[in-house]
Amino acid sequence: MTGSLKTMVSYVKGRANVSPATAVVLGSGLGHMAENVEGGVKVPYGDIPGYPQPTVEGHSGELILGNLRGEKVVMASGRFHLYEGWDLETVTLPIKLFHELGVKNLILTNSAGSVQVQNGPGTLMAITAHLDFTYQESSDTPLIVNEDRYHSSGLLHIAGESAERNRIDLKEGVYAWALGPSYETPAEIDLIRELGGHAVGMSTVPEIRAAGELGMNILTISCLTNYAAGVVEAPITHEEVITSAAEAGERFGKLLTSIIEDLGGTE
């Protein structure tokens, strides 16, 4: 990483005079949410001194700062994955930037594969716990991590209530973090299911860890864009992931907007 965090923070503060309480990391299919931000200032990553540029299709790369239903927000469209070759410092950089901007509540979104046949493509799932299926830190059997500092029970409660009020089906489950870049094998998915995982994806856990250490309230919601390997016979394609995320985008955006509105006053 080039450039210091301090330089980046002062650049963003200079562009947008907002002190956001809530940050949202937009996964694929959610780019349209930026359009609902009132008085939104868009700051392309390329403008921020030393900020990296994402490379994955379906992610653009900008921060959007403004008001959403009266709540001060910052949104990040475009994220950095370890499988693209970025280091942990870069992957977690947006979280540190949010923290410096004064963010208290962090909403992380992502696309994930569904480990369970009853949760078809398009299912939205609030993440109550995660497990590290990367085997990077240890070769021991991964354990389920459900600490409140990583998965805020308060925010999960708000998410559940918002979903009910908007008649949006929101499941709850455990997110298994796999390294990628290939999709998993059916045998790996069987093991993830045995370990208690319901969704599998290649992002988010580094961000959860970083934000948890910084004391933010964290809510993660996955859009299950496809059946994980071996759950059904059809092969997984990146196109299916992008298409399903786009189809669920409107419903997902509506839920997120309602959650952000309900966050008013909780800091």
List residues binding ligand HPA (CB under 6 A): 111-113, 178, 183-184, 200-202, 225-226, 228, 236, 241
Least distance between ligand HPA and beta carbon 56 (Å): 11
Nearer to ligand HPA, 18 or 228 (CB): 228
Tokens 């952000």 sit at which residue? 260
Nearest residue to ligand HPA, scored by beta-carbon proximity: 113
Nearer to ligand HPA, 71 or 207 (CB): 207
21: how many CB neighbours lie within 10 A of its CB? 20
Instruction: Point out which residues pair with 148 in neighbouring strands.
Output: none
Nearer to ligand HPA, 117 or 167 (CB): 117
Nearer to ligand HPA, 37 or 199 (CB): 199
Least distance between ligand HPA and beta carbon 30 (Å): 14
Beta-carbon contacts of residue 157 (< 8 Å; ≥ 6 apart): none
Least distance between ligand HPA and beta carbon 111 (Å): 4
Nearer to ligand HPA, 6 or 234 (CB): 234
Nearer to ligand HPA, 65 or 131 (CB): 131
CA pair distance 157, 162, nearest whole angstrom:
9
Least distance between ligand HPA and beta carbon 178 (Å): 6
